[in-house]
Every structure is written in structure tokens, then in C-alpha cells.
Structure 1
Amino acid sequence: MAHDLPLQTDLAALLSMSFSAIIHELHQRLDALGFDDIRPAHGFLFQRINPDGATGMEIAEHLGITKQAVSQMIDYLEQHEYVARRQHPKDGRGKIIVLTERGWQLIHAREAFYKEIEQQWAAIIGSERLEHIKSDLSHIILNIHAGEFPQRLRPVW
């Protein structure tokens, strides 16, 4: 007799499954628009370079990975025309990573899709309940982090 696995109802599992559901839906929609060469980890990188650009070191610190790993990600994104390396405006020897037109198209599509996904969730549980969830999570995060939202949002997988 097969045993069913227990339903995952602890908070960490529910938050993880919720995050996975959002990211899965987002990437299905992005794929349909021709952004099928983007992976979830790239989104964390885009958060750091959007809107003013960033150095490789700033991105590495933001993601908590090596500068070499960031360089590989930047190489990939540059080959796919999402980012470009430019001369740093304040450091003649340095480079800054900026979004290209395609990169900005991706960012705008992502923002629109996040809004649509949130509207879908509101249709399931109601706008007021969704706003309560967002408010409660914000309150928890602010209390854990001394009244400020963390500046870094890293992949943890």
C-alpha cells in the first residue's frame, strides 16, 4: 500500500512553493515573448544593475558569489544582448554593467507579468486578503531587519 507524502504546511515550505509558482509562471510568460534564454538567477542580477548600472564587484557582493561567477553571467547576458559593459563614468579603468534596450524590454515585461500574476492571486483569495499577506510579510521582514528592507535579495538555492 502506497503512503501519501505529508502535505507541506510549514511556513518555509509554503513560502518556497509560492515563490516557485510565481517564478514558474513568470518564466512561462517570458518564454512566450522570446525571453527563453533567461533563468531565475538572472533576475537577482538584474535587480542590482537596474536602473543605474553596477560594477562586477557590486553585483558579486549583491549575489554573494565570486567576481568570476558574475563575469560568466555577464558574458552570457551580454552575448544574448541584455546587458553591455561600458566605461565606468568615475573610474577610467573600470567597467560598469548596464541594461541594453533588450534588457529594458525584459524588465518592463517582468514588471507587467508580476502585476498580472498578483491580480490572478487576488482573484483566488481576494484583494484584501492578498494585501494583508503582503503587509504581514513586510511587517515581519522589517522587524527582523531593524526597520529596513534588506538591500540584497539573493538566490538561496
Structure 2
Amino acid sequence: MNHTPHNDTGGAGQEFLAFTLGAEEYGIDILKVQEIRGHEKVTRIANAPEFIKGVINLRGIIIPVLDMRIKFQLGTPVYDQFTVVIILNVGGRIIGMVVDSVSDVITLTAGQVKPVPDTGAGFSVDHVIGLGTVDERMLILVDIGRMMSSAEMGLMEQLAA
């Protein structure tokens, strides 16, 4: 049996799940992805921030669902047959992330990941690892753990409780 560690980036590269939000393509570490589900009705939670769509029951576990289009301020989300919920395991917490669509899994080597240029615009890109480039494609690589500030994680813990 071959026991190759998945986190070996010594040239093999890192795998990212590519997904779209509006006109942009994003990538998230495939090791954080637990499953991909079709969009489903969520139960709204009163007084939760707008980007927290609500909660769903995932095989007996109540998990919060975030809408990334709202979180990244990318306009009004449209829910159609391509809309999916990516179920993520972030530091032992299970969360759902609504995205417009998922396309494929891309392996990026360190050389294909470029730093985000400093625009000087003053907005935070702390949650962006870098820009992954494959041929003509460019993926905005998101660190989901960093994106969920501790305050947001605490809030989601309360929602799931």
C-alpha cells in the first residue's frame, strides 16, 4: 500500500477546489472540503449577520451556512441549479459555504501561486493566500480559516449550539 502524505508540497503541489462567485474564480484547500451539496433551504436565525444565511441539519449536526457573495460584497446572490454548498471542516468546526458553482480541482505548485499585489486601496486581503495561475486562468486562493475571524467563528458556534 502506498501511504503518500497529502500535505507534501515538495514539488507535487497543493490541490484547490475551484469555485465561482460572480465573475471571479476562487480556490480553497481541498483538504478542508468535506463534501459538496446542492443548494437547499436554510433555517434563518434572527439577528444573525446578513452573510450568515442560516443553518441546515447535516445528518443530525446543525451547521451554519455562509453566503460568500454577501460576505465578499459581490452583489445580490442568485440561487439556481448551479448553486452549491461546500461543506468545510475548519479547525474541527463544520460550516457550509454557498457559492455560485464549483468547477474542478486544480493542483498548483508553489511557482504557480503569486502574491497579491498591494493596491494601496486600504482594504483587507488577509484571507487571500495568493493568486493561482494555470494557463489563462487565475484563481483567488482563499484561506478559509483566516477569513473566519475569531469573532465570526464565536458567533457561528453560538448559532450551532
Structure holding more strand per residue? 2
Bigger radius of gyration, 1 or 2? 1
The answer, yes or no, to whether TM exceeds 0.5 is no
Structure holding more helix per residue? 1
Normalization by structure 2: what TM-score?
Answer: 0.25
